[in-house]
Amino acid sequence: MGGWARAGLAAILGTLAACSSPPLRRELPAPRQATPAPVQPAQGARWIAADWKDLPGWGGDDLLAAWPALLAGCQRPAPGWAEFCARAALQSPTDPLEAAALLMKHLRPWRLASDSGDATGLLTGYFEPQLAASRTRQGAFQWPLHALPGDPALRRLSRRDIDAHPRFAALELAYLDDPFALLQLQIQGSGRLVMRDATGAERISRVAWAGHNDQPFQSVARALLDRGEVADATPRTLSDWARRNPAKVRDALAVNPRVVYFREEALADASQGPRGAQGVPLTPGRSVAVDKAFIALGTPLWLDSTEPLSTTPMRRLVLAQDTGSAIQGAVRADLFWGWGEDAALQASRTKQPLRLWALFPDGVTPRP
């Protein structure tokens, strides 16, 4: 990109950034609605054509940080995206300005709203747990992760029945030393296991979601809170409660009959996240889970929210690359924070107002 062109684009982006809306507070101001009239798919989402200047903070994000996630999503492009994905692969930008120019030339933003016209939704967060584990049952490592049973009748057993059934012993992949870490792993759907071999060498593998037992989910933490057995539901508090009350743990866990089954995978690249529902590795801070009844997997989204526990704006390009049973609605996203303790803390703190704009190629009608 030539100097004059770069300067011109910088001026445009600077103007857009200056025109962006003020930081989010408890309620988000509704952005200006642009013509043409909203597109209203049968699923109940409302798509409203927008201008680039309608995107709060556009021009302030480091788009290069999102580019690997965009290219990953292009490995499995949605209908209508093949041409843009080919351009993105061939014209990899060298700085955020070039990335912005490519997006603005070939894509158009659409604001997302519910069928009632509400443009404000909810942002939450999730992460990939990284947990100490053992290949054999020993010492404190008493809590097994199970592989998916081949027998459909076995798959549907409740947590309490699984604990007592002898055929599940052959399905135990590994053992954790914390029952609430096991519950967290099942809620998140994937995780990293840190194990040591006979020589003491550390080995990290990944366990990924393989299915569940079709039982309803019930919150164990909520039950303990309601009974006054814990003061809060932080992982440390729950783990401390389990250590102090070993005789009560199995009955406490049985409150939640749902069990998630796993498959073990080699962790070829520790810098990559687990594969999401789109089938591509998730990128920390750039991949989100969405309701695919409203947003097609692979869609780039402009996210307008705040940093966790803050009023500081968080405005960035993210990619719809995963789904989740709790992620329902048009203006709803679950941000993948990565793995380890810092990611877990960020995920636990993420629950704030959200607005979304979807970016689509010229000529592509927004729809799931």
- pLDDT attached to residue 91: 85
Express each pLDDT in 241-295 by its tens digit.
999 999 999 999 999 999 999 999 888 888 889 989 999 999 999 999 999 999 9
**What DSSP element (H or E) covers 177?**
none
Are the C-beta atoms of residues 128 and 191 closer than 8 Å to each other?
Answer: yes
Q: How far apart are the first and last CA of the chain?
A: 34
pLDDT of residue 92: 83
| Contact by Cβ (8 Å): 202, 194 | yes
What does the domain layout of the chain look like in residue ranges? 128-266
Cα separation, 219 vs 95, whole angstroms = 45
Cβ neighbours of 226 (radius 10 Å): 9
Q: Which amino acid is at 91?
A: Q
Entry pTM: 0.79
The CA angle 87-92-94, to the nearest 5 degrees, is: 145
* Average pLDDT for 213-242: 93
Residue 23 has pLDDT above 50, yes or no: no
Distance of CA 4 to the CA centre of its chain: 39
What pLDDT does residue 128 have? Answer: 93
Q: Which two tokens stand for residue 208?
A: 């990924």
Distances in Å between the Cα of 154 and the Cα atoms of 149, 150, 251 are: 6, 8, 21
Check whether 20 has a pLDDT greater than 60: no
pLDDT over 50 at 305, yes or no: yes
For 44, residues 6+ apart whose C-beta sits below 8 A from its C-beta are 114, 115, 294, 330
Range 128-266 has CATH code 3.40.50.1970: no
Measured CA to CA, the distance from residue 43 to residue 293 in angstroms comes to 7
pLDDT at 45: 74
Residue 13 — pLDDT band, cuts 50, 70, 90?
A: low
Estimate to the nearest angstrom the gap between the alpha carbon of 147 and the chain centroid: 23
Give the confidence band of 17 by pLDDT, cuts at 50, 70, 90: very low
In order of 55, 150, 198, the CA distances from 170 in angstroms are: 53, 12, 22
pLDDT, tens digit, 9 for 90 and up, residues 122-165 = 999 999 999 999 999 999 999 999 999 999 999 999 999 998 99
Are 275 and 311 in contact by the 8 Å Cβ rule? The answer is no
Q: Where is pLDDT greater, at 234 or 24?
A: 234
What is the Cα–Cα distance from 249 to 81, expressed in whole angstroms? 50
